[in-house]
Structure formats: C-alpha cells, structure tokens
Structure 1
Amino acid sequence: MVVLQDRPVVALSPWLSEAIGECADSGRTLQLVTPLDSRLSLPLRTAAAGAGVQWVVREADSYYEGLTGRPLHWYRNTFEPVPEARDYASGFTSRPSAPIGAQLTLVYRIRHSSEGDVSGPIDRLMQLLTGKTPGGWGPAEPLEYSWQGDRLTEYTRGRASSRVIVIGTGQRVAQALCEFSASGSGGLAEVSTVTVGYGPDDPPPLQHLPSLVGALAAEQTVASLFVQLTPGRADLTTEPRWTGAPAPVALAVAGSVAGPAGMPGQQVGPARSPLTLFPLGDGRSADGWQRHRHLMQHLQSPQP
C-alpha cells in the first residue's frame, strides 16, 4: 500500500494507524511517501523503523528511504532499492533544518498482576523525568484523552494487547509508547519506551540516572530498564536526514546481580526489590554496544 502525505509533520493518525494494521494483517508493507521537508512524529517514526512500514522520501525526481538514505525507484507497482546505487541519497546527507541535540530514551519492562492500576510506572517515570504528571494518552495522534490513570488501566485490561501513546507536560518534550500484552493468570506484561528531547545546549542529566532508577524501583517492581542517547531534534520529530546513531548509557536488571569481570554493577532501589545498574557508556560512543553485548552474554549464560 502506498500512502502520500504532504505536510510539515506527519503523525500517527487514527486512519494511518488503521492502515498500518491492515497491511500487517495481510502481510503487506505500507510505503509512506513524503517530500524532503516533511518530518515524522516519534510514534510514526517508531512504526517506520519496523518491518511493516517504509518511509519513502521524494527529492526532486528521485526517491530514497527516509531512515537509511538508500536510493529507491518505482518498479512493478512498488518502491524498491536502486540496484546500482552505491552511495546515500544526497537529501539524506544534507544539513538538518534545526539544531541537533540529544534524545534520552528509557525502555522498561514490568509485569503487572491481574488486578490494580497499570498506569503507575509511566506516571512516575514521567514525573521523574519532567517534573510533572503526563498530559494525555491515546492509541493515535492527536491524543484522545487527558491523563487519567484509571481510564488507561480500563483500556489496557480490556484487550489482549494494546499500544498507547503518552505525552508529558514539562518544559521539555517527552513522549512514551507503552505496549501491554496479556500474560498468564490475567496479568499484563508492559514494555514502555519513554523519550525526552534535549537541545544542543541542554545536556541530559546522566549523572542523576542512579537516583532516578532507584526512585522508580522504590515504587514499582521493575524487571529491567535500558537507557540510550540518540542525536536528534529536541521536539522528537525526525527529518529524513542522517543525524547520528544511538549509543547505550546503562542497563538495570532486577535483583542483586554480579556483572562480568571489569564491569561492576551498582545496586539501586529498595532492599526488598533492588535493581543492579550497569554503566555502559556516555551515550555518544559506539563502544558502549560492545559492553552491552558482553553484559548480555554474561547475564544470559548459566550461572554457577
């Protein structure tokens, strides 16, 4: 399915969300075509990074993939890679239209019981990151509901799986994508990705990460939490241009866990439900991914 959008910011509208779902159900790819000066909202950019959506950017008389810069052409009723292309499209390597700062992303996993509120973790983390409670939530953009934790709980518990968007109301732009899926005994498994935008002169406060993770763990039983930095716009929209690659900052796992040699962890949170926080890097060096792989291999290997 090919969808044409010509607007400054393309968001994950209800119609577009439904079209993506229809394509996924039928095994098709949705190709979203925009001009060079369009940007994607964070929820739509996340969808475009998956297997079922492709962002196609029109530059003069040519096309390229918006997230990779790979040149494309129209062939047999679809956009396909240009076989002879050996370089990125010129639009992908052009200068961004706004200053590039940093986007701080935290991905946490929590298992909820069969009863009770499920909005607590995202509410608390938004407060810790922005100083304020969330402003609204909904399955598509613009968000349909003002923030009410009980409404979110009712919505997610009534479905086998659901994905909702949550926005912050603090000084900096903050958004979350929260995925819930039914687990055994009526419980819910939650995987949520929270992102906060920082300008080039406003560095993320990574030095406060241990206290932030500890404060979240004091109120919620967190299974794991991963932190990374990505170069990007402070408003969390994405241009079809190269701005840099993400790099890891830290990984926290439940319990008091020993890390591999040379990678000590720091215990944070209460003694009844501690997390072990492993620093991985400054969020700017790709070397952090090596440490991440080393740590994951250690955590997944049988312990004596």
Structure 2
Amino acid sequence: MSGPAADALTPNAMVILQDRPVVAFTKWLADGLRLCSETRRGLQIVTGPDSRITVPLRLVLTGPKTHWVVRADGGYYDGLSGVPLVWDGSAFVPDPRARTYAPAYTAPPSEPVGAQLTVTFRVRHTSDTAIGAAAEQVCAALTGEPPGGWGIAEPATDVWRREQLSELFWSRGAGATWLTIVGGGGRPAVGTLLVSKVGEAIEEAVTLVVGYADPREVPVATLSAQLGGIAAGRHLISLFAQLTNGRADLTTVPRWLGPPGPIGMAVGGAAPGPPGIPAQRIGDAQSPAVWYVLGDGRQQEGWQRYEQLTRHLQGGF
C-alpha cells in the first residue's frame, strides 16, 4: 500500500500533524485523501489553535471519520464544528461526554471579520471545449477577472487555460477530475471544480468562494444579474449562493464566526416558485432558468424560505 507518510496510520484513520500558520490541500495531502478513500479511513489533520486552513482543504474535510483536529486547552476539538474530540485508540472521535462546544471554538475573534460569498453550482453540456467556461464566467462576474490559475492540488501553479482542463480530463479517460482554481482579479477568489461524464454529457460541479474585507461590499442586490449569464447557452442544474462571516483572505479559522445565511437559488427550467418567494427569469429562451430570492445572507429566516422552496420544487407543497 503506497501513500504519503503519516504521523499515525490505523485501520480507521490517517493522522497528519501540521504545525504551520496556514494548511493547504497540497499534493501530499491529496495523495493521503485518495488513500483514505480507497481504504475507508478518515483523514484527520491535527493543528494548533492558531492555524488556518484553505478553502480547498475545508471543502474536502467532509467524509466519515474525517476531522480538522485542533489542539487547545489540553484537549482536542473539530475546527469546523466545535465538537470536542478524543482519541479512542484508532482515531479522533466526538467526545461522548461533551455537552457543549469547545471553549476555544466559541471564543470571540481577536481580529476584524470580513465576509465570504460562496457560490455553488452544477452545469451540464455536450461540448468538451466548454469545460471550465461556467467557472470562468462566474469568477469574472464576481471579481472582474477570469481565474488566474488551476491545479490538481494547492498551490494552483498552472496558468488558467481552458483547453488544458479539457486535455487533462480526456487524458484520464473522462474519469472524474477534481481541480482547484484561484481568481486572477484584485478580489480574493478560490474554488474547486469537479468534471465528470454523465451519459453523453459533461457535468461540472463548482464551488467558488470570494472574499470581502467589508461585508457591505458584497453585491447581494445585484447578484442575480451578475450570475444570470451562467444559464445562457448551457443547462444549469442548480445554483446556490450564501454569505458567511470569515476572513477576506478566504482562510478558515477554528472559531465560531456566526451562521451562514442564504442569498438566492437558481434552477434550470421555468418552474414557478411558492407564494412569497420572489423569482425572476435568467438564462435565455433555449436554456431558461429561474432565480429565487431567499434573503440578504444575514437573516436566518432565509433558511425557512430555502426549505419551503426545496419542498415546493420537489413536489411536496
């Protein structure tokens, strides 16, 4: 069994110590995650309380038994959820005795907090030359520039050229291909792109996170207009936009900074929404879609509208 060197490798987990200010999803960690997936282990990254992690690493730390393990106050907790953790002999697991979040997780931040706009969407098309076009369009709409680089891990060292994304995808036999992307404009933007083949079509699942030092700069009111073009000329399956408190440089701290709030959701087609949820057409006649307004990213009532909308679209109204 080949893979990166781990600080502890058990039947349940690969444990890797990372004592550095910012931990990225490097090629080394990507190899570790692949091994964990193949052997049904959890990837567990152990850091100190002052470490931060990047967007791609945060997005992959979601599997079973997978944790960002933070050392603090003589114990451990999950840096993304605040749940206290203990070592059970083969992996870090939630502490069954805990009744509240770890104190270090709920401690107030010691520096100003900005905002992070997250846009997650899925599109489907039949042209291999279109791979990466939707991500390019959304990045340009939100930052003023297309992505500056891409890679199979971090750092994303390859200059953004969409034809290279297609070449990589087909060189792997059209197998699922996961990539990192970074913005090229003045505003920080980092994301991930998963390309896969579905029948005769190509599907792309994209998450792009954009950072704002001043939360008032987030274009909540004009977001539907900025993102509306993504539906034109391709099949938009779904899109969801939400706002979260966070550092403008897009790293994540192991602290509670407040809950995310929804802004809007778009789906392909022309399905009417339920009463009380504003909707507007986006896309074009050949590829229509609808944008539903859920909130301003700050009010938690937006989640109630989100649940109402999803029930309606699933036929449960």
Q: TM-score by structure 2 length?
A: 0.90
- The whole-number CA distance in structure 1 between the counterparts of 2:296 and 2:268 is 22
What is the aligned partner in structure 2 of residue 31 from structure 1? 44
Residue 162 of structure 1: which of 171, 177, 182 is its match? Answer: 177
Q: Is the 8 A contact 1:73 1:80 kept in 2?
A: yes
Distance 1:77 1:214, change over 3 A: closer
Gap regions ≥5 residues in structure 2: 1-13
Question: SS at 1:108's partner residue?
Answer: strand
Residue 239 of structure 2: which of 225, 230, 249 is its match? Answer: 225
1:135-174 aligned within 5 A: 135-157=148-170, 158=172, 159-174=174-189
- The whole-number CA distance in structure 2 between the counterparts of 1:164 and 1:52 is 23
CA drift of 1:219 comes to 4.8
Distance 1:49 1:302, change over 3 A: closer
**Paired amino acid for 1:247:** G
Question: SS at 1:206's partner residue?
Answer: coil
Question: SS at 1:98's partner residue?
Answer: coil
Q: Is the 8 A contact 1:62 1:72 kept in 2?
A: yes
- The whole-number CA distance in structure 1 between the counterparts of 2:23 and 2:316 is 46
Residue 141 of structure 2: which of 124, 128, 131 is its match? Answer: 128
Are residues 1:21 and 2:41 paired? Answer: no
Distance 1:219 1:100, change over 3 A: farther
Residue 88 of structure 1: which of 101, 104, 112 is its match? Answer: 101
Q: Is the 8 A contact 1:98 1:233 kept in 2?
A: no
Q: Is the 8 A contact 2:114 2:215 kept in 1?
A: yes
Question: SS at 1:238's partner residue?
Answer: coil
- The whole-number CA distance in structure 2 between the counterparts of 1:272 and 1:77 is 54
Residue 237 of structure 1: which of 251, 272, 285 is its match? Answer: 251
Question: SS at 1:135's partner residue?
Answer: strand
CA drift of 1:272 comes to 2.7
What is the aligned partner in structure 1 of residue 297 from structure 2? 283
Deviations 1:34-68 (A, max 9, x none): 00110000100111233352111011421111111
- Greater shift after overlay, 15-24 or 155-164? 155-164
Q: Is the 8 A contact 1:231 1:243 kept in 2?
A: yes
CA drift of 1:106 comes to 1.0
- The whole-number CA distance in structure 2 between the counterparts of 1:3 and 1:127 is 36
Distance 1:126 1:52, change over 3 A: farther
- Greater shift after overlay, 2-11 or 106-115? 106-115
- The whole-number CA distance in structure 1 between the counterparts of 2:71 and 2:272 is 50
Are residues 1:252 and 2:266 paired? Answer: yes
What is the aligned partner in structure 2 of residue 205 from structure 1? 219
Q: TM-score by structure 1 length?
A: 0.94
CA drift of 1:96 comes to 2.3
- The whole-number CA distance in structure 2 between the counterparts of 1:272 and 1:112 is 13
Residue 287 of structure 2: which of 273, 286, 290 is its match? Answer: 273
CA drift of 1:178 comes to 0.7
**Paired amino acid for 1:176:** G
CA drift of 1:117 comes to 2.8
Distance 1:201 1:160, change over 3 A: closer
- The whole-number CA distance in structure 1 between the counterparts of 2:153 and 2:134 is 21
Q: Is the 8 A contact 2:115 2:215 kept in 1?
A: no
Taking only aligned residues, the RMSD between alpha carbons, in angstroms, comes to: 1.8
Identity %: 43
Q: Is the 8 A contact 1:137 1:165 kept in 2?
A: yes
CA drift of 1:9 comes to 0.2
- The whole-number CA distance in structure 2 between the counterparts of 1:127 and 1:22 is 35
CA drift of 1:144 comes to 3.0
**Paired amino acid for 2:195:** F
Distance 1:263 1:226, change over 3 A: same
- Greater shift after overlay, 14-23 or 294-303? 294-303
CA drift of 1:103 comes to 0.8
- Greater shift after overlay, 255-264 or 102-111? 255-264
Deviations 1:208-251 (A, max 9, x none): 11211223333544222111111111111111110111121111
Distance 1:302 1:60, change over 3 A: closer
Distance 1:115 1:46, change over 3 A: closer
- The whole-number CA distance in structure 2 between the counterparts of 1:302 and 1:30 is 37
